[in-house]
Amino acid sequence: MQKNTVSIDTSVSPAKIEYSAVFNVAVPFIDRHLDEGRKDKVIIRTTGGEEVTFGELAERVNQSGNVLIKLGLHSGDRLLMMVKDSPEFFYLFWGAIKAGIVPVPLNTLLRAKDYAFMIEDSGAAAVIYSPEFQGEVEPALEQLTTKPEIVLLTEGESGCFLEKMNSADSNLEAAPASATDDCFWLYSSGTTGRPKGAVHSHRDMIFTSQHYGNDTLGVRENDLCFSAAKLFFAYGLGNGMTFPLWAGASCVLFPARPTPETTFEVIERFKPTLYFGVPTLYAAQLQALESAESESSTPDFSSLRMSVSAGEALPADIFRRWKEQSGTVILDGIGSTEALHIFISNRADDIKAGSSGRMVPGYAAKIVDEQGNEVSKGEEGRLLIQGDSSCKYYWNNPEKTAATIVDGWLNTGDTYHQDEEGYYVYGGRSDDMMKVGGIWCSPFEIEAKLVEHPKVLEAAVVGREDDSGLIKPEAHVVLKAAADATDETSVELLQHCKKGLAPYKYPRWFQFPAELPKTATGKIQRFKLRSK
């Protein structure tokens, strides 16, 4: 094999991927497109009107890498990025990788204390951030006893990163690495505690882009991808960046907060072919669509050939209603920060609403009981997966690494069962499972039933002790209309649950909060509800 090459043999299933001994992933993702004739094709479109071609991207990535080297960063140094969805995210991320530096994109919705923890935990040599996030990043830096040597704004002031790039050399030789060397980190979203830095290899983005983006989703060169989920976390990183790059397709970047109105505007304006959301957003979009005064106020979804969901399991009712409103199916799947993207998914020609689908090519799974033994079909247990996109370890956290990655299997922390047809069905986070009357009970099953009710926007179910000290389900329900938060509605919802759930699964209490506690990526933090 030649230096720094990757070969994909699609004649076998799953596709066989081979790497040269010296390998830097920036080459096949960025430089390859110049050799394949895409220099003048637009890869990035922004809602601000900016367009970037593959040729311009390659040049800007090289300039970015050269700036980072000139600033004094060395191979293996960590660069923390608090950067909005924008071309400069691409420049920094790929420029760092090509220069041998480790980019660490951070959640841009966090607070100063979270940033202070991650800067300190990572031992970052540099912090580069968009001006929009100054209000949290700068107080975070002030909290540190030892500050990173390099702190820069991406834009907006003299000496900012983009200004330095403008005068930098546009040629850069890729730093030598191997497919399994450390490449980039992503911090977990912290659904159950403090975020953990998942360390990913050079090969990981190729594995997910080929096996999920190409083989499962079928991203094509003429696709335009729009991800409401942001680039800073694993799901958005694939949807909005690595999948279109791998396929030679295009993406539209939207830096603002996604709402039903703003996402509808982007879809109508840019006409994407692939749309990526999360269950919480789909629920809000459906509420907006179903309350629209007339058909003329319904967005034009005709450009979409597919919608995708991940982050949390998608209730079957949301699948049904979205298909009615938009004319497209939602391919639901499950992925994680640790696995980088989706490893179980529905497919366009193989969908079972309410399930996560089947294994993505290249991955293996097993469902085990509390003793680690594989369970029978239909029986719930912990989901373990294997695949070459799994993180190598958690930075600075050997205990959690040892508990999560055992003999090459990644403990997802999710409870699942496989039905008789072979589809994987989500039962909830393992920590969220309840034992009611001696029987394991899935909060997700109860939540899925609740969201079928026309008054319900979203729901979360947790275990609560009754007067006898026994655990029973408690439902926290966000209603579409606050005025419906009455005892009568509680009775109505209970009767609704009784139509489709076993008696031990009926919620014993109903709470009607204005919103549910969530991570910035939209995952419900049920542990916060249990603590109330």
Span 216-226, pLDDT tens digits? 999 999 999 99
The closest of 461, 475, 477, 488 to 514, measured between CA atoms, is: 477
pLDDT on residue 296: 59
pLDDT on residue 294: 56
3-state class of 121 per DSSP? helix
Rounded Cα gap, residues 492 and 510, in angstroms = 11
Residues 6+ away with beta carbon under 8 Å from 49: none
In 271-315, which ranges are continuous DSSP H helix? 279-290
Based on its alpha-carbon atoms, the radius of gyration of the chain, rounded to whole angstroms, reads 23
Domain 435-530 fold is GMP Synthetase; Chain A, domain 3 (3.30.300)
3-state SS, 133-187, equals HHHHHHHHHHHCCCCCCEEEECCCCCCCHHHHHHCCCCCCCCCCCCCCCEEEEEE
DSSP 8-state assignment for residue 524 = B
Rounded Cα gap, residues 29 and 209, in angstroms = 10
Phi, psi of 478 (to 5 degrees): -90, 120
Rounded Cα gap, residues 370 and 348, in angstroms = 35
pLDDT on residue 193: 59
DSSP 8-state assignment for residue 431 = G
Asked whether 328 and 336 are in contact (CB, 8 A), the reply is no
Rounded Cα gap, residues 320 and 332, in angstroms = 12
- Contacts of range 288-297, beta carbons closer than 8 Å, 24 or more positions apart: 288/260, 288/261, 288/264, 289/260, 289/325, 290/321, 290/325
Find how far residue 335's CA is from the centre of its chain: 7
3-state SS, 206-232, equals HHHHHHHHHCCCCCCCCCEEEECCCCC
Rounded Cα gap, residues 18 and 376, in angstroms = 35
Phi, psi of 268 (to 5 degrees): -70, -40
68 to 22, 28, 148, 149: CA distances (angstroms): 22, 21, 14, 12
Quote the tokens at residue 432. 């969220």
224-429 carries CATH number 3.40.50.12780? yes
CA angle, 103 then 108 then 113, to 5°: 95
pTM: 0.87
Fold match flag (17-202 vs 224-429): yes
Pick the CATH number of 17-202 from 3.40.190.10, 3.30.70.100, 3.40.50.980, 1.10.3720.10: 3.40.50.980
Strands 197-201 and 393-394: antiparallel
Residues in the chain predicted with pLDDT less than 70, given as ranges, are: 1-2, 189-193, 293-296, 437-439, 468, 520-521, 531-532
Rounded Cα gap, residues 421 and 122, in angstroms = 44
* Domain boundaries along the sequence of the chain: 17-202, 224-429, 435-530
Taking the alpha carbons of 381, 386, 389, 394 in that order, is the dihedral positive or negative?
positive
For the beta carbon of residue 259, count every other beta carbon within 10 angstroms.
Answer: 14
pLDDT on residue 312: 81
Quote the tokens at residue 26. 């920036």
